[in-house]
Structure 1
Amino acid sequence: MDSAEAMAWAETLVRHKLLHAALPTPSGQWLVQHRSGGPVRVLSGPTALVELAAQIQGLVRTEAVRAR
């Protein structure tokens, strides 16, 4: 998995307020916070971040279908 792709997903999720924060660490892990003041999750790397993005995207789509 490309770290640039993970960064693009992280920026998109934060911009759309689907995550509060997503930051890469020098070791290649990612720190993710769903809401301000919430717990910080440590993801193993770019692949884990993209997998999280896919999960969030699936939830958003499910909610959009239910709202119709």
Structure 2
Amino acid sequence: MIPHPPRSSKPTAAEADAWADVLVRRRLLHAAVRTPTGQWLLLDNPDGPVHVLAGPSDVLALAANIQHRTRTKRLESR
């Protein structure tokens, strides 16, 4: 895999919204809600605990982690 250069700007709320939407639509998360304070409330599954993320950077880090895990599993199953 080719490493990407580091970001030159901080992730925005709009980017985090988009990634959260994708994760929920792809059923990789059960729910993701941004609070008025900019924090995010996440549920992995309907009966699981609520996880609180501090902001957009944490949402993008979670999306990257999930993407990496998904790709790694796919490669292992080949």
TM-score normalised by L of structure 1: 0.97
What 5-or-longer segments of structure 2 have no aligned partner? 1-10
Give aligned pairs, total. Answer: 68
1:29 CA displacement: 0.2
Q: With the length of structure 2 as denominator, give the TM-score of the two structures.
A: 0.85
Partner of 1:58: 68
1:35 maps to which of 34, 45, 52: 45
- In our comparison, the structure showing a higher alpha carbon Rg is 2
Structure whose residues are more often helix by fraction:
1
Shift >6 Å, 4+ stretches = none
5+ long unaligned stretches in structure 1: none
